[in-house]
Structure 1
Amino acid sequence: MPTHLPLQALRTFVEVGQRGSIKAAAEALHVTSGAVSQQIRLLEERLETVLFTRERLGLRLTEAGASLYPSLLQAFAQIESAVAALEASKKRPTLTVSTVASFAASWLVPRLGRFNQRHPEIEVRVEATSDLADMRRDRVDVALRHGLGNYPGLEVKRLMAPVLVPVASPGLLAGDQELNRPQDCLNYPLLHDSDRADWPLWLAAHEAAPDPRAERGTAFEDDFLLIRAAEAGQGLALVPEVYAREEIAAGRLVQVLDKPWPARFAYYAVTRPDAMQRPEIKAFIHWVSEEAAASL
C-alpha cells in the first residue's frame, strides 16, 4: 500500500461520505460529477479497498470506508480551522512597541494585561531596543523612551518623570563609613547611567557642594544593568524607585537615604507624525498615558 495518498482524493472521499451523493459532493467541491467519481476510483485503487457501496439513492460507506471516514473528517476540519485562524490573524491590527529592557520588565509588561483586556482585538508586540531608527523605517509603531523629549521629526508625548532614589547592596554598607547626608555618598564608588548627569544633579538638588567625584565611576547603558551592579556591591546607584522596588522588598538592595528626587529626564511616548490616524496606536497612547498618570 502506498505511503503517500493524493490529498484531493482524500478530500473528495470526505465530501462524498458526508453527503452520500456524488452530485452533492461535486457541487460542494465545484467540480464535475465525473471528476468526483474519478477521485473516488483513484483512492480505492491506491488503497486496494472498496470504500462505497453504490445504491439506488446514492452511496453508502462500506465497513472499511466507515472506519476511515471519522479520522479524515476531523483532519480536514483541523486544516480548515488552522487556515481560518491564519486569515483572522492577518486582519487583526498589530502594534509594535519598542522600549528598553528594564522599563519593559519593571513597568510596561506587568501592566500590559490591562491593555489586552481593554482591547483584545489588538495584538501587541514588545521589542527591547533603544534605537529609534526602526521607527523611521516603519518597523516600530510606538517607542517608550527615557530622555529629554528631543526627537526631531517625531511626535512626542510626555508620560511621567521617574523619582530617583540612592540604593546599594546591604554588604556595601556594612563598613564604618557614615552615610547620613547626600554628600556622604561621595565616599563610596558611584554607579552611573550613560550620560553621568543624575548624580551631580541629585547632589545639587540636596544642596551638596559641587565635587568632581560625583561624575566618577562605572557607567551603564541600561538601568537593569545598573541595578545588577548595585546588587553585586560595586557601588551606590541612583535609580528610578519603581525599578528598585522589588529588589528593596527582597532585601537585595537598600535605600541608603530617604532623599528621593525627580529626575530631569522623563519618559515619553514617541510615534511617527501620522501614527495617531491608526486606531490601535491611538488606543495604546491613550492607555499608556492613563497608566503613567496612575503610577505617579
Structure 2
Amino acid sequence: MILTEAGESYLKPIKHIFEQLERATTELKSKQKIGSLKLAVAPAFLTRWLMPRMERFQARYPDIQIEISSSTGLIDFSAGNIDMAVYFGNGDWEGVEAYYLSPAKLFPVCNPKLIRPEQPLNEPSDMRFYPLLHVTKRKDEWHDWLQQNGLDPKVFRRGLMFSSGSLTAGAAAQGLGISLSNVDLVRPEIEAGTLKVLFDQHLISTRSFYLVYEKRSTVTPAMSAFKEWIIEEMVGD
C-alpha cells in the first residue's frame, strides 16, 4: 500500500506506537509458548523435596505459571485439570508415561534425644529396645531391612503406625520412635538436628517417585521444561 503525502505526515509521529505494539505482541506470544502447568504431587515429595527447590525453577522459567496441588491417589488426567503428577509406587500404572526419578534409600532415623544413656544404639540389634515406627501400607520395609541385616523382625518392638512416610518421619523427629525414612526427604530435619541417621545400612525400596502424565496428552513446552528441570535436580542431589 502506498500512502499519500498526508498519510505519511500522519504516520510519522505515531510510528513508534506501532513499533511498541509489535514488540509487546511478540513478547506476549513468546510467553504464551511457555504457558502454564498444573501439577499434582505426592504430599511428602511436595513439602520435603519440591517446595524447597521451586525457587530455582521459577528463576529459570519465570514465564511458566504453575498451579500445584497435593494428591495421594491416582489422577484422572482425562478430566483436563492436571497436566503432570508425581506418584509414589512401583511405576506400573495404566495409561500414563512414567519417568523414574530416583531410588528411595531408606535409613533408620530418630531424634537423638530418644536414645537413653543406658541403652545406646551402637549396632542395628540395639534397636530392639526402641519402638519402630511403621507406615500402614508398607509394613514390609522394616521387615526387609531387618532381615537384610541378619536380624529377626519378631524380636523388635512395633511402635505407632501412620498412613505415610512423612508422618512417621515427623513422629520420629518428635521422639516417638525410630522410622525408616528416605534421607532425601528428611534432610531438613537431619540438618536441624531433630533427626539422626543411626546406621549406614539402608534398604533400596521397591517403590519410588515417578513423574507421570497421560500417554495421549500433548506434551507442552511447559511440561517439557519441568521434566528436564526435575531430572536435572535429581541428578544434582
Of the three residues 139, 143, 153, the one matched with 1:196 is: 139
Which residue in 1 is equivalent to 2:69? Answer: 127
The size of the alignment, in residue pairs, is: 208
TM-score, with length taken from structure 2: 0.77
User: 1:115: how far off?
Assistant: 2.1
Q: Kindly indicate whether the alpha-carbon contact (under 8 Å) linking 2:43 and 2:70 is maintained by their aligned counterparts in 1.
A: yes
SS in 1 for 2:38: strand
Q: Distance in 1 between matches of 2:72 and 2:80?
A: 15
Amino acid at match of 1:162: A
CA distance in 2, matches of 1:214, 1:139: 45
Alignment CA distance shift 1:217-1:150 (3 Å): farther
**Corresponding residue to 2:44 among 86, 102, 110:** 102
CA deviation after TM superposition for structure 1 residue 213, in Å: 5.2
| Percent identity of equivalent pairs | 30
Q: Which residue is 2:58 aligned to? A: 116
Structure 1 letter corresponding to 2:74: L
What are structure 2's unaligned runs of at least 5 residues?
Answer: 1-27
Deviation of the 1:158 alpha carbon: 0.6
Output the amino acid matched with 1:205. Answer: Q
Deviation at residue 157 of structure 1 after TM alignment: 0.8
The correspondence of residues 1-80 of structure 1 with structure 2, limited to 5 A, is none
Could you say which structure has the larger radius of gyration?
Answer: 1
Alignment of 1:162 with 2:104, yes or no, is yes
Instruction: Quote the Cα distance in structure 2 between the aligned partners of 1:186 and 1:213.
Output: 7
Of 148, 151, 158, the residue aligned with 1:205 is 148
Once superposed, what is the RMSD of the aligned Cα atoms? 2.5
Which residue in the other structure is 1:285 paired with? Answer: 227
Deviation at 1:215, TM superposition (A): 8.6
What are the ranges of 5 or more consecutive residues in structure 1 without an aligned counterpart? 1-86
What TM-score does the superposition give when structure 1 sets the normalisation length? 0.63
- Cα distance in 2, alignment partners of residues 146 and 208 from structure 1: 28
Equivalent position to 1:182, from 86, 100, 124: 124
Report the counterpart of residue 67 of structure 1 in structure 2.
none
More helix by percentage? 1
8 A contact 1:199–1:215 mirrored in 2: no
Cα distance in 1 for partners of 2:148, 2:219 equals 41
Distance 2:56 2:217 in 1: 22
User: C-alpha separation between the residues in 1 aligned to 2:94 and 2:134?
Assistant: 26
Compared CA separation, residues 180 and 255, structure 1 to 2 (3 A): same
Report the more deviating stretch, 232-241 or 182-191: 182-191
- 1:135 Cα offset (Å): 3.1
What's the CA shift for 1:239? Answer: 0.7
